[in-house]
Chain A
Amino acid sequence: MSSPDDLVQADIDGQIVTMPRSMSDLLGQPPITLTIDGKKVEVPRVSVTQDPKGKAVPRLTTLYDAALKVGVQIPILCHREYMNPVAVCRVCSVHVGYENRPAEWRLAPACYRPAEAGMVVATHQTNSRVLSSVKMLTELLMADHPTPCAKHKAHGDCELEVLAGQLGLQQVRLPRAPERRPRDDSSLVIAVDHNACILCDRCVRGCNDIRDNQVIGRMNKGYQARIAFDLDTPMGDSSCVACGECMVSCPTGALVNRSFVRPDPWEKEKPAPGPVSVEELSRNPLFADVAKPFLHWNEGAVVRRHFKKGDIICREGDYGSTAFYIEKGKVSIYLSAPFKHVKGQKNRRAGAKVNWGPLGLIRRFTSTLVRRDEDDREEESKSRYIHIDGPVPLRYDNPVATLDEGEIFGEMTCMSSYPRSATVRAEEDCTVLEILRNVLYILQRGKASRAILDERYRKRSIENHLRSVPIFASLLTEEAQFQEFVNYLRDRVELVRINPGDVIFRQGDPANAFYLIRIGFVKVSQKQPGGESVLAYLGPGKFFGEIGLMSNFPELRAKNAPPGLRTATCAALDHVDLVRIKEEDFRHVLDKFPGVREHLLKIALERLEEDKHTRQRVEKESLGDFLGQGLMNAQSLLVLDLERCTRCDECTKACADAHDGVTRLIREGLRFDKFLVTTSCRSCLDPYCMVGCPVGSIRRRNSREIIIEDWCIGCGKCADNCPYGNINMHPFPTDKKAPDPANPERMIPVVQQKATTCDLCAELDGQPSCVYACPHDAAFRMTGEDLLNKVQRHRHGPVTVEGETRPQG
């Protein structure tokens, strides 16, 4: 017996789609005719819509689909054409009659009810009972809706308030309660106001079905129901990756960009947005092949702003959710943060303050900002270029570039919610389209728009991109040679886009290409005895995939690299754009340009060597939990012996004293037996802090210690990312002033934030201040391995881990 839900495959417009047999049977059947608001309409039994990933989705043709076809507008709130209908808001209710049998007593949701032959449907436009029902439903929602909500206040586009206006709802006669539910401001990107939420389920479907991030659900029941993240965790502490899909899906002001709610102090400088009509957009070749219904759904997702010469378009470190497209004019893109790093120095000034603590003398350190040429740290970067979220890299010695008409910048901020990487200023009067994420996503994937964007990269950006990659630096000594190199690759490279989480290649796969990263972050990991271990996170401007292609070189063969195979797995952490150089082109480049070959070989050897070290360490230190906490990697843990420690907090005070009052350690953390491992940088195996640095200024030395490069813009992303809270933001005064956001009349000094982490400030006796300060000999600095030995000695038993759970990542 064949079951009605046997799955079969059918070819729809060239796409193979899997569907139940009952559905595919209907595909072949003749269309049916029904009447909607007096208009006859012929529709197929099955309609094919596209989900946001462009996949064809077959669905029984609904009354809503049929009404669209005949031009009858049915209001919707919980429905979008590309979503599976849930029919919960009921504002699409219609009256269903039949040609040959009595009408239904109850109304039916048009978004859900399949169309049947001979139906006679009346919408709110022709049936007064339907109209009064839709009005009452809207009134019910408005009764608990803050009016205007944040979305309506910002752009006048709250779908509920717009619908109420269209229905001419003058006043709410029901008891009002717009302030009953909580707000959640814990996310840096998205502000949550449960009062404005209408439980349409669009964010839930966006998060779980469309993005598969699996964070948002509904909690409680009945009138107490609301959305929740994970176990009703504040959004900022939840497993939310801030992809922004929920915000884009939300019809009201329940999930909005934080800048709507709390405008940044620069908002005033921004010119007011002007709407861009769908017709106007479609005339721009970039938008020409985007489906018009999509643009209609997303009306307001593209706004036009006019900037006067000198206006700031966006600022480094700001959070945002948009990308910019330059319609007309020229802008300059630059970093305004001073290119300096934080240096702690013993204070030698006469009359400097001395801290007379209970134990005597601790000399005070002063932190200052210095350039790398003034203070060359161990393994200080010599990089000449800084990669930013735009089509050009910036030079270290002169970090300013110009962008022209037709360029797009801010794609990483828009797609993956990273802070803005650079400041952009209008060089002349210019017009800019500000684009929200879902529209940019479609542009990056549409055939024609993608061709335009890729063409622009090949013509205008590839040269600068290659110029900035250090392995090609040897070519730069002779411009003609570099030009030959660029021209060889210009049309040969492939530009590929990878979705978050997708694997680019796996360990053991045959190697057939070399990759340069344009946008986004790639995770490089390797299977090791203790499980998958992360070797590196690579950001814009970095490259990977060379080892597999070079493993036939004698130098690498000597290191036992598996011939022609990938030695690690590379996967996209977020939206990643790559430049793919095919194997034969890569080989040609190596043959033709020996300088490149030499440089790459050196790096490949270094990387292999580093992997080997990691592997050895993992094999040696098989202690699962200890390892999971990243402790085994630690070069210098601050460990407190709790049997001696009196909780006097002198260590923390000493750290703060040593670092301009900003402590870099917190006296809490994991406990192992009688030892407390305080919170300070652990130089983890999986350095999650490095993911998302918009300018790539946080890096590891080969010794695995974290180093923060001069061009840190102080956005705080690494401090947020560190699961142990071990990166602190340290403010330094600048000579700039800006209006106080709370009181625009007043000017307040602008401070420059810089990220800092433990610098092992060597004090007297060569000990760090914290250890020196301890009056009870309870503080020690030691490696993870030493700690383990100590613990085992003390307990004569296995180590157990108490305290926090293992961090994700």
Chain B
Amino acid sequence: MIVQALHEIQHRFHYLPAEELHALSQRLRVPLHRIHEVASFYPLYRLQPPSQVDVKVCRDMACHLRGAEQLRAALTAQGNELGGAPARVVVSGVSCLGQCDYAPAVSINDNVYRGKTEAQLRDLVKLAAANEPLPHQHADRSPLGWKIDPYNGQPRYDAVRRFVEKRDADGIINALKVADLRGMGGAGFRTHLKWSAVRGTPGAPKYVVCNADESEPGTFKDRELLRRTPYLVLEGMILAGLVTGAAKGYVYCRHEYEEEIEVVTEAIVKATAKGFCGENILGSGLSFSLEVFVSPGGYIQGEETALLEAMEDRRGEPRNKPPFPTTGGLFGKPTVINNVETLAWATGIVLNGGEWYRDQGINGAFGMRFVSISGDVKAPGVYEVPFGQTVRDLVFNTAGGMRDGQRLKAIAPSGPSGGFIPARIKRELLPEKFVKERLAPGAADYDVLDLPLDLNTVGAMGGMLGAAFVVYGDRADMVDNALNCVEFYRNESCGKCVPCRIGSEKLVEILIDLRAGRLRRQELGVISELADVMGITSICGLGQVAANPIASVLKYFPEEVEKHLSRQ
């Protein structure tokens, strides 16, 4: 109840006044420190009254690449001109708002704006400073003819109907197995294993949680799926619930996706009214209710156990494992946690069969996926593509090619977490097995444009494949961009474990020195050492990958590092 109660107080006062927190503590009979540790943890909450105009400019990856820093400086200057004491306009940075295809994204008094020019933004700031209401920027909700959507915008919940008639849980799990559907949140865990594990674990109630907390820089595909096909996600959740025997499902959604939350909430109301979820589904005697849980914010909430902690009214810090959520998840109960896209695909797979999905893959890979592409390309956006599509095809056909006449310098095929892959990789930097399979004898390097994008191949090359795909042209300074990514992790670290909490900060401090030309060659060694220790001792994925951006630059772009070293 703490999280919801804080939402409510903030909604009323635009911040959390201390008197209200005292009153809440008495009302809920919860000690003050418990309320404060939650209230001070999540970025959504303000403990001080906000300024009249609260401007936040996204600082991560695609927005950084597209001039967010300069934009922030310009808006800060405008704020200074508007003056006031305390300042009427306060401009600050914010972590990825999930609008990388319209970079740079800016939020003004909690309204998110995308694709606006500096002049348009200045007008909006002026409007807010004059206490005028701010316009909402609506996004398109219509279907785009995707293969994932068997209903093409007209939901019928056929898979739920079919389950209620046949009660074939084994059939559903088998279809997921044949499809080889993997988790689309980035970790790639096999969906059928997760569902069977929860199904086979005793305990009640069980839960299904849809992870819609998409917050990784460069990742925004769930945003489109939630807004255009909410019914597919809900149907996937209902199926997961019916198969595993769960009683309740939550869509855990980042609070910045206001429009998506609205769409999903409407879809739940509709589905419940028609009897596809809720009590006694289609007269079957089975029940499974759905609810949206609005995240109080922070990238770390996308980590599945941190997300559960937030739902349990605590600081969103990842848990030590075991237990895993399949056996001890929400409130210690067996819980399925799946990404938005995974659940949406599950619906199609149950309706069309596992083979249908599996056979969409090309170049020896299985299945399809949604990719969020951003950075220095002409047509950034969300695309439904087959697994196995080459980098060349993705960048030059799907995304329309490089913008501003730049040449491809690097890709980040998993956002910041997998680090940067150069356009060409030297033979000696590739694993032996990969060289044997993919390089022509005598070739000095590997052209990354040839790389088929599927989990196994990218992994074999020594990289990671996620839902983000950020493209860097030849004007990008890789040390600067590595620092930008490490700063993101430092900003978003929950602070629970030492390697991540202090390690990410120290990395940032070292990289600031490097970028400024103050670091000497002999001081480079500690970076790799620190990166290794963070990778093997951090509790969760955030700390484990936080050093990857700079580790990859040290490995693949030594000449750029060289350029920045101190000459003394």
Complex Cα distance, B496 from A214, in Å, reads 20
Choose from B18, B35, B490, B529 the contact partner of A132 (Cβ within 8 Å).
B529
Whether the pair B506, A107 counts as a contact (CB closer than 8 A) is no
Sample of 4 more A-B contacts, CB < 8 Å, known A141-B498, A199-B498, A223-B495: A85-B320, A175-B510, A214-B34, A805-B22
Whether the pair B33, A215 counts as a contact (CB closer than 8 A) is yes
Whether the pair A222, B37 counts as a contact (CB closer than 8 A) is no
Whether the pair A4, B502 counts as a contact (CB closer than 8 A) is no
Query: Looking at the complex, which of B283-291, B447-455, B533-541 is the stretch in contact with chain A?
Result: B533-541
Q: Does A216 contact B (CB under 8 A)?
A: yes
CB contacts (< 8 Å) of B42 on chain A: these are: 221
Choose from B21, B201, B497 the contact partner of A4 (Cβ within 8 Å).
B201
Choose from A1, A86, A173, A221 the contact partner of B41 (Cβ within 8 Å).
A221
Q: Does B204 contact A (CB under 8 A)?
A: yes
Q: In the complex, which residues 215-235 of chain A have their Cβ closer than 8 Å to any Cβ of chain B?
A: 215-225, 228-232
Q: In the complex, which residues 479-521 of chain B have their Cβ closer than 8 Å to any Cβ of chain A?
A: 490-499, 501-506, 509-510, 513
Whether the pair B36, A230 counts as a contact (CB closer than 8 A) is yes
Whether the pair A214, B33 counts as a contact (CB closer than 8 A) is yes
CB contacts (< 8 Å) of B529 on chain A: these are: 132, 136
Known: A90-B537, A107-B536, A112-B320. A219 touches B498 (CB 8 A): no
Question: Which of A91, A177, A217 is packed against the most chain B CB atoms within 10 Å?
Answer: A217
Q: Does A105 contact B (CB under 8 A)?
A: yes
Q: Does B347 contact A (CB under 8 A)?
A: no
Closest to B38 in A: A217
Q: Does B236 contact A (CB under 8 A)?
A: no
Complex Cα distance, B203 from A5, in Å, reads 8
Whether the pair A219, B37 counts as a contact (CB closer than 8 A) is yes
Q: Does A288 contact B (CB under 8 A)?
A: no
Mask of B321-365 contacts with A, CB within 8 angstroms, 1/0: 010000100001000000000000000000000000000000000
Whether the pair A228, B36 counts as a contact (CB closer than 8 A) is yes
Whether the pair A224, B537 counts as a contact (CB closer than 8 A) is no
Q: Does A800 contact B (CB under 8 A)?
A: no
Known: A217-B33, A222-B494. A173 touches B526 (CB 8 A): yes
Choose from B34, B491, B499 the contact partner of A137 (Cβ within 8 Å).
B499
Whether the pair B498, A89 counts as a contact (CB closer than 8 A) is yes
A-B contact pairs, 28 of them (CB 8 A): A5-B203, A90-B497, A106-B537, A106-B544, A107-B537, A109-B320, A133-B532, A133-B533, A133-B537, A137-B499, A140-B530, A141-B502, A173-B526, A198-B498, A199-B501, A214-B31, A217-B37, A219-B37, A221-B40, A221-B42, A221-B298, A221-B315, A222-B493, A224-B495, A231-B18, A231-B21, A231-B22, A232-B40
Q: Does A174 contact B (CB under 8 A)?
A: yes
Q: Does A88 contact B (CB under 8 A)?
A: yes
Known: A1-B204, A223-B495, A231-B21. A217 touches B34 (CB 8 A): yes
Closest to A129 in B: B536
Closest to B513 in A: A175
The size of the chain A interface, using a CB distance under 8 A, is 54
Q: Does B32 contact A (CB under 8 A)?
A: yes
Choose from B31, B203, B501 the contact partner of A223 (Cβ within 8 Å).
B501
Whether the pair A217, B36 counts as a contact (CB closer than 8 A) is yes
Mask of B15-34 contacts with A, CB within 8 angstroms, 1/0: 00011011000000001111
Q: Does B50 contact A (CB under 8 A)?
A: no
Min CB gap A221→B, angstroms:
5
Complex Cα distance, B544 from A140, in Å, reads 16
Whether the pair A215, B492 counts as a contact (CB closer than 8 A) is no
Q: In the complex, which residues 36-89 of chain B have their Cβ closer than 8 Å to any Cβ of chain A?
A: 36-37, 40-42
Q: Does A144 contact B (CB under 8 A)?
A: yes
CB contacts (< 8 Å) of B332 on chain A: these are: 5
Choose from B37, B201, B203, B538 the contact partner of A218 (Cβ within 8 Å).
B37
Whether the pair A222, B495 counts as a contact (CB closer than 8 A) is yes
Min CB gap B55→A, angstroms:
21
CB contacts (< 8 Å) of B536 on chain A: these are: 93, 105-107, 129, 133
Choose from A129, A208, A223 the contact partner of B505 (Cβ within 8 Å).
A223
Known: A105-B536, A107-B537. A174 touches B33 (CB 8 A): no
Counting from the closest, the 8 A-B pairs by CB-CB distance are A217-B33, A225-B495, A214-B31, A217-B37, A222-B493, A230-B32, A219-B40, A140-B502
Q: Does A143 contact B (CB under 8 A)?
A: yes
Q: Does A2 contact B (CB under 8 A)?
A: yes
Closest to A229 in B: B33
Q: Does B115 contact A (CB under 8 A)?
A: no
CB contacts (< 8 Å) of B315 on chain A: these are: 218, 221
Q: Does B523 contact A (CB under 8 A)?
A: yes
Q: Does B202 contact A (CB under 8 A)?
A: yes
Whether the pair B34, A221 counts as a contact (CB closer than 8 A) is no
Complex Cα distance, B538 from A90, in Å, reads 8
Q: Does A239 contact B (CB under 8 A)?
A: yes
Choose from B203, B494, B509 the contact partner of A221 (Cβ within 8 Å).
B494
Q: Does A170 contact B (CB under 8 A)?
A: no
Min CB gap A574→B, angstroms:
19
CB contacts (< 8 Å) of A173 on chain B: these are: 523, 526
Whether the pair B537, A137 counts as a contact (CB closer than 8 A) is yes
Min CB gap A119→B, angstroms:
14
Known: A90-B498, A140-B503, A221-B41. A230 touches B201 (CB 8 A): no
Whether the pair B320, A87 counts as a contact (CB closer than 8 A) is yes
Complex Cα distance, B533 from A129, in Å, reads 9
Min CB gap B504→A, angstroms:
7
Whether the pair B509, A219 counts as a contact (CB closer than 8 A) is no
CB contacts (< 8 Å) of B523 on chain A: these are: 173
Q: Does A166 contact B (CB under 8 A)?
A: no
Q: In the complex, which residues 273-319 of chain B have their Cβ closer than 8 Å to any Cβ of chain A?
A: 298, 300, 315
Q: In the complex, which residues 176-227 of chain B have their Cβ closer than 8 Å to any Cβ of chain A?
A: 201-204
Q: Does A703 contact B (CB under 8 A)?
A: no
CB contacts (< 8 Å) of A29 on chain B: these are: none
Min CB gap B359→A, angstroms:
33
Q: Does A3 contact B (CB under 8 A)?
A: yes
Complex Cα distance, B563 from A24, in Å, reads 62
CB contacts (< 8 Å) of A132 on chain B: these are: 529, 533
Question: Which of B21, B34, B320, B504 is packed against the most chain A CB atoms within 10 Å?
Answer: B320
Whether the pair A90, B499 counts as a contact (CB closer than 8 A) is yes
Min CB gap B146→A, angstroms:
37
Question: Which of B204, B315, B538 is packed against the most chain A CB atoms within 10 Å?
Answer: B315
CB contacts (< 8 Å) of B494 on chain A: these are: 221-222, 225
Complex Cα distance, B523 from A145, in Å, reads 21
Question: Which of A109, A223, A228 is packed against the most chain B CB atoms within 10 Å?
Answer: A223
Whether the pair B495, A232 counts as a contact (CB closer than 8 A) is no
Whether the pair A88, B496 counts as a contact (CB closer than 8 A) is yes
Complex Cα distance, B37 from A545, in Å, reads 43
Complex Cα distance, B203 from A2, in Å, reads 7
Complex Cα distance, B496 from A87, in Å, reads 9
Min CB gap B39→A, angstroms:
8
Choose from B22, B36, B502 the contact partner of A232 (Cβ within 8 Å).
B36
Min CB gap A199→B, angstroms:
7
Question: Which of B327, B497, B509 is packed against the most chain A CB atoms within 10 Å?
Answer: B497
Whether the pair B502, A143 counts as a contact (CB closer than 8 A) is yes
Min CB gap A808→B, angstroms:
11
Whether the pair B509, A228 counts as a contact (CB closer than 8 A) is no
Whether the pair B33, A230 counts as a contact (CB closer than 8 A) is yes
Min CB gap A734→B, angstroms:
43
Complex Cα distance, B504 from A680, in Å, reads 54
Closest to B33 in A: A217
Min CB gap A172→B, angstroms:
10
Min CB gap A512→B, angstroms:
33
CB contacts (< 8 Å) of B22 on chain A: these are: 231, 805
Complex Cα distance, B510 from A136, in Å, reads 15
CB contacts (< 8 Å) of B501 on chain A: these are: 199, 222-223, 225
Complex Cα distance, B513 from A109, in Å, reads 32
CB contacts (< 8 Å) of A1 on chain B: these are: 202, 204
Whether the pair A220, B41 counts as a contact (CB closer than 8 A) is yes
Closest to A106 in B: B536
Min CB gap A2→B, angstroms:
7
Known: A2-B202, A88-B498. A136 touches B530 (CB 8 A): yes
